[in-house]
C-alpha cells in the first residue's frame, strides 16, 4: 500500500531541476540542493508542468484536473499520488519529514570540527599528493606575466578545474606573492541554490585536502550584527555542498604553500531583485553596512578579498538559444565590456551593464564580483585571463570565466 503524503496539499521544496536525456527520451532530473538525500528523481519532460502545481494549494485531484485542462493529458489522482509519494520519499516536499532531516543535517554540520571538502574525490583529487600534482601541472603550464606584489584581491573562477584550470592557474600565479603574504582572506562565492539576494554566513572552518583554513569568528560576528542572526544563518546548510568557495579556497591553500590563513566565507544569492526592480545596490542600506564592516575589518590586516565567480552562462543548457559563431563573438564583446568596467573599478557601471540588458547572459558571479569591488573600493583591476568553456556536447552552450587581480 502506498503511504499517504504527510500534507493533503503538498508543496515542493526548492529543487535543482536539470534536463536529462537517456535512450532518446528526455527527462527532468530533480535533486535536492541541500543534499538531505543523494537520491535523484527523473520525470518525463512532458510532465514538467506538474512541478508548478505542487505549490501547497492543490491536492492530487486538483492537480489531475489542472493537467487535463492545461496539457490535455489524463493522469488520475492515484497516479499523481504515486508521483508525490516518490517526491516525499526523496525529501523533496516541504513537510515534517524534510524539516526533521534538515534539522538533523544542520546539527551534524555544525557539530563537525570543520566543513568537509564536498568535491574532493570527484571534481578534484582527495589525495593531497595527487591534488598537488594536478595544481602544479596547471601552474607550470600557465601563461602570463610576473606575480603582482601589491595586490589586494582577485576574481577566480568557480567552474570545475578540468575546464577552467588554465584560467585558475594564470590568476593565482599572478596573485601568488600577495596571497602568500595575507593573514586574512574574505571569499565571496556564488550561492547557486539561493534565489534571493541573501548573504549566508557560517562559523565553520573550511577544510581542503591540504588541511584546515580557520574561519575568522570576530569578523563573522560583526557581519552577523548587521545582517541578523536568523537572516545570516537560515540557509547555512547550503555551505555544505556549494562548490564556489571551496574551489577558490583550495587554490588559496595551495598557493600559500599549504600554510593556512584565516577565512571569512560568504555565500551570495542572486541579485535578481536589483536587476528586476528599479533599485540600485549602491543605495541598499544592508549592502552599505556590510561594506562598512569589511572596510573596518580589513584596514588593519594583510587582507585580501576574493570573488569566486564565473561570468556568462548562455545556450540551451541554461534555458537559452543555441550559440553560433556570431553569438559567441557577441558574448565575447559583452564580457569584454564587463571586464573593462571591473578593471576600472566602476561598480555602478558593472551593475548597470548587466541590468540594462536584463542579465540576458546570466552572469552568475554578479553578486560576488560586485561585493568584492565594493569591499576593495577604490581599486583598479588587471585582467590576466579569460576563456569560454563548453557547457554541452553540441558546442551550443558556454560558460565564460575570467581572472582579474585588484591592486
User: pLDDT band at residue 280, thresholds of 50, 70 and 90?
Assistant: confident
What's the pLDDT score for residue 278? Answer: 66
**Residue-wise DSSP of 101-125:** HHHHHHHHHHHSSSB--SSBTTTB-
> For 4-18, what is each residue's pLDDT tens digit?
445 689 999 988 888
**Is residue 378 reached through a cis peptide bond, with omega within 30 degrees of 0 on the bond before it?**
yes
Among the residue ranges 257-266, 271-280, 297-306, the one predicted with the least confidence is 271-280
Rounded to an integer, what distance in angstroms lies between the CA atom of residue 69 and that of residue 50?
12
What's the pLDDT score for residue 144? Answer: 63
What's the pLDDT score for residue 7? Answer: 67
Instruction: Report whether 250 contacts 131 (CB < 8 A).
Output: yes
The arithmetic mean of pLDDT across residues 87-99, rounded, is: 93
> For 244-254, what is each residue's pLDDT tens digit?
999 999 999 99
The arithmetic mean of pLDDT across residues 135-150, rounded, is: 84
Q: What whole-number percentage of the chain has pLDDT above 90?
A: 74
What's the pLDDT score for residue 197? Answer: 74
Instruction: Give the burial class of 316: count Cβ atoms within 10 A of its Cβ; 0-12 exposed, 13-18 middle, 19 or more buried.
Output: middle
> For 26-38, what is each residue's pLDDT tens digit?
899 998 888 898 8
Rounded to an integer, what distance in angstroms lies between the CA atom of residue 362 and that of residue 312?
5
What's the pLDDT score for residue 25? Answer: 85
For residue 159, pLDDT beyond 50: yes
Q: In 3-state terms, the chain is what percent helix, strand and coil (to 5)? A: 45, 20, 35
Q: Which of the two residues, 49 and 156, has the higher pLDDT score?
A: 156
Residues 6+ apart with CB under 8 A from 253: 208, 210, 211, 213, 260
Query: CA separation (Å) from 329 to 279, 324, 335?
Result: 31, 9, 10
Phi-psi region of 72 (alpha: psi -120 to 50; beta: other; left: phi over 0): left
For residue 314, give the 3-state DSSP assignment: strand
Rounded to an integer, what distance in angstroms lies between the CA atom of residue 253 and that of residue 32?
29
Q: Which residues of 269-354 form beta strands (DSSP E)?
A: 303-308, 313-314
C-alpha cell at 103: 534539522
For residue 300, pLDDT beyond 90: no
What's the pLDDT score for residue 247? Answer: 98
pTM, 2 dp:
0.91
Which range in 185-199, 281-295, 330-344 is most confidently predicted, on average pLDDT? 330-344
The arithmetic mean of pLDDT across residues 64-74, rounded, is: 87
Rounded to an integer, what distance in angstroms lies between the CA atom of residue 176 and that of residue 255?
6
What's the pLDDT score for residue 2? Answer: 45
Domains (range + CATH), the chain: 16-105 (no CATH), 115-406 (3.40.830.10)
Rounded to an integer, what distance in angstroms lies between the CA atom of residue 326 and that of residue 334?
12
What's the pLDDT score for residue 49? Answer: 82
* Max Cα distance, the chain (Å): 68
Across the strands, what pairs with 307?
155, 188
What's the pLDDT score for residue 401? Answer: 98
For residue 210, pLDDT beyond 80: yes
For residue 94, pLDDT beyond 80: yes
User: pLDDT band at residue 270, thresholds of 50, 70 and 90?
Assistant: confident
Instruction: Report whether 17 contacts 29 (CB < 8 A).
Output: yes
What's the pLDDT score for residue 329? Answer: 93
Q: Which of the two residues, 211 and 41, has the higher pLDDT score?
A: 211
Q: What whole-number percentage of the chain has pLDDT above 70?
A: 97
SS3 of 16-31: the string is EEEEEEECCEEEEEEE
Instruction: Report whether 341 contacts 311 (CB < 8 A).
Output: no
Amino acid at each position: 500500500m502506498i503511504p499517504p503524503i504527510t500534507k493533503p496539499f503538498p508543496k515542493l521544496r526548492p529543487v535543482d531541476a536539470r534536463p536529462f536525456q537517456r535512450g532518446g527520451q528526455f527527462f527532468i532530473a530533480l535533486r535536492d540542493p541541500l543534499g538531505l538525500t543523494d537520491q535523484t528523481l527523473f520525470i518525463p519532460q512532458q510532465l514538467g508542468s506538474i512541478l508548478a502545481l505542487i505549490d501547497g494549494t492543490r491536492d492530487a485531484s486538483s492537480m489531475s484536473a489542472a493537467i487535463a485542462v492545461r496539457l490535455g493529458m489524463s493522469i488520475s489522482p492515484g497516479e499523481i499520488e504515486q508521483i508525490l509519494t516518490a517526491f516525499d520519499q526523496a525529501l523533496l516536499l516541504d513537510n515534517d519529514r524534510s524539516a526533521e532531516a534538515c534539522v538533523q543535517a544542520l546539527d551534524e554540520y555544525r557539530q563537525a570540527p570543520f566543513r568537509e571538502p564536498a568535491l574532493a574525490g570527484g571534481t578534484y583529487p582527495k589525495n593531497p599528493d595527487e591534488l598537488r600534482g594536478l595544481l602544479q601541472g596547471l601552474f607550470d603550464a600557465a601563461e602570463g606575466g610576473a606575480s603582482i606584489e601589491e595586490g589586494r584581491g582577485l576574481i577566480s573562477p568557480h567552474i570545475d578545474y578540468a575546464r577552467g584550470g588554465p584560467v585558475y592557474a594564470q590568476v593565482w600565479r599572478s596573485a601568488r606573492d600577495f596571497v602568500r603574504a595575507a593573514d586574512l582572506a574574505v571569499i565571496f562565492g556564488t550561492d547557486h541554490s539561493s534565489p534571493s539576494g541573501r548573504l549566508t554566513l557560517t562559523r565553520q572552518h573550511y577544510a581542503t585536502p591540504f588541511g584546515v583554513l580557520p574561519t575568522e569568528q570576530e569578523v563573522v560576528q560583526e557581519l552577523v550584527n548587521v545582517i541578523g542572526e536568523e537572516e545570516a544563518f537560515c540557509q547555512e546548510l547550503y555551505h555544505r555542498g556549494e562548490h564556489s568557495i571551496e574551489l577558490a579556497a583550495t587554490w588559496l591553500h595551495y598557493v600559500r604553500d599549504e600554510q593556512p590563513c584565516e577565512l571569512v566565507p560568504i555565500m551570495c544569492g542572486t541579485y535578481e531583485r536589483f536587476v528586476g526592480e528599479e533599485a540600485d545596490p549602491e543605495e541598499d542600506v544592508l549592502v552599505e553596512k556590510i561594506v562598512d564592516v569589511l572596510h573596518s575589518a580589513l584596514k588593519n590586516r594583510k587582507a585580501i578579498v576574493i570573488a569566486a565567480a564565473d561570468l556568462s552562462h548562455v545556450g540551451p543548457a541554461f534555458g537559452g538559444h543555441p550559440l553560433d559563431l556570431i553569438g559567441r563573438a557577441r558574448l565575447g564583446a559583452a564580457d569584454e565590456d564587463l571586464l573593462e568596467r571591473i578593471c576600472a573599478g566602476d561598480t555602478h557601471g558593472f551593475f548597470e551593464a548587466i541590468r540594462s540588458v536584463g542579465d540576458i547572459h546570466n552572469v552568475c558571479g554578479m553578486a560576488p564580483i560586485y561585493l568584492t569591488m565594493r569591499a576593495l573600493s577604490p581599486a583598479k583591476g588587471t585582467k590576466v585571463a579569460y576563456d569560454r568553456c563548453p557547457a554541452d556536447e553540441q558546442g551550443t552552450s558556454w560558460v565564460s570565466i575570467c581572472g582579474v587581480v585588484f591592486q
